Amino acid sequence: MPEERVERFNLAERLGHWSHGITFIVLLLTGSALVFRSYASLIGPEGLRLFRSIHHVMAYPFTFLTVIILLLGTPRTVGQWLKECLTWGRDDFRFIAAFPREFFGLKVQLPEQGKFNAGEKLNSLLTIVGSILMAVTGWILLLRDSVAPTLVAWALPLHSAGALVMGGVILGHIYLALGHPNSRESINGMLSGKVSARFVREHHARWYRELKAGEFQGKKQQKIA
């Protein structure tokens, strides 16, 4: 009997996720050459000009594409996601306090979570705030000849610091999705859209109960009809 699968993310959610992730990584790699001299000398003047052009072009999809995909493709789930990310309870803070042990493979009992655990909520909030910071400061730097020099002076260190923080966040995200034995099945949610029911029961128990309660209610209404 095939294992039960649960839909975690729809197509628009997955496209939004990958468009954001890919554009950010390209921007991080190309932008590093504009900041670190050793990197710039490694690729040479022609490579540096190419990286600068790619960096400027990728600013457009990074700023606009993901937002367009999510708001046009799946506005209802985006609203649910934002609401859940901004809703924190005692179990969420308990999860954050205990999660470092889980991250490093130590045994720990984590509190039950909804569709998004507290770590995913924190990652989402950091990504949203960081992306806004990177977009705003990036466009100030791109249009530096048209804005006040004071803004440019502030934008440069903020842009660099934001890149370092978000780079660290995405490295942790990749590790949990691909390398961590307890959570790497989560990558299936962003590839096929579905994960195993076992994974949902173990990592998102509260959400699993809500799904089952919804299924039961739906079947009950069908019988009445």
Q: What share of the chain is helix, strand, coil (3-state, %, to 5)?
A: 80, 5, 15
Six-digit token pair at 132? 């806004």
Task: State the burial class of residue 134 (Cβ atoms within 10 Å of its Cβ: 0-12, 13-18, 19+).
Answer: buried
- In this structure, the number of other CB atoms found within 10 A of the CB of residue 32 comes to 17
CA distance 137 to 184: 33
CA distance 47 to 205: 50
- In this structure, the number of other CB atoms found within 10 A of the CB of residue 96 comes to 15
Helix (H, G, I), strand (E, B) or coil at 114: coil
Q: Which residue has the tokens 């979570």?
A: 113
pLDDT of residue 37: 83
Six-digit token pair at 196? 């195993």
pLDDT of residue 216: 45
For the chain, residues with pLDDT lower than 50 are 216, 220
pLDDT of residue 86: 97
pLDDT of residue 17: 97
- pTM over 0.85? The answer is yes
- In this structure, the number of other CB atoms found within 10 A of the CB of residue 100 comes to 10
**Residue ranges of E strands in the chain:** 5-7, 194-196
Six-digit token pair at 211? 């799904």
CA distance 28 to 20: 12
Query: Is 43 within 8 Å of 5 (Cβ atoms)?
Result: no
Closest by CA to 152, choosing from 163, 166, 141, is 141
pLDDT of residue 1: 57
CA distance 12 to 14: 5
CB contact set of 113 (below 8 Å; sequence gap of 6+): 91, 92, 95, 203, 204, 205, 206, 207
